[in-house]
Amino acid sequence: MNDAARPTLASGIAYRDPRAALAWLEKAFGFETSMVVENPDGTIGHSEMRFGDGLIMVGSEWDARHKSPASLEGVNTQSIHVQLQGGLDAHCERARAAGAVITREPADQFYGDRVYGATDPEGHVWTFGQTVRAMSLEEMTAAGGVSVRERL
């Protein structure tokens, strides 16, 4: 893969068992593995997965600040959002069938997206959305009863 094909922003995710995570993320969420770096001892040092034009890096816990939620009593300091082009409800059922814990059932949101939430086997928080109605900021404000604007 050349540098021009790499996205501007990617997220790195630590797993206790990155090899199992790669297989599960493919099965449950439809990610595609695009790179795996194996250490001399056979452990995964680094890997990358694609979904559309997005990229995540999947690796092992490598120091005290890079841990799986499974090693932190379920604590997450971030979540990962994936915007789907279509098929959100079927995607949710695929994830559920693969063992994802669905934390938020698919539901339409005031800002025009349909969204569901899930956790993976190690407790990482994921959300998936699909735009079902394109809305202006003014329409979102009126529909949600909140102030929606571009900047503070």
- Write down the pTM of the prediction: 0.91
For the chain, how long is the longest CA-to-CA vector? Answer: 58
Question: Residue 103 pairs with which residues in a beta bridge?
Answer: none
- Token readout for 111 is 């800002």
Over residues 18-37, the pLDDT tens digits come to 999 999 999 999 999 999 99
* 57 contacts: CB under 8 Å, gap ≥ 6: 10, 11, 12, 13, 46, 47, 48, 49
Is the pLDDT at 4 greater than 60? The verdict is no
* 139 contacts: CB under 8 Å, gap ≥ 6: 112
Domains, the chain, ranges and CATH?
A: 1-61 (3.30.720.120), 79-144 (3.30.720.110)
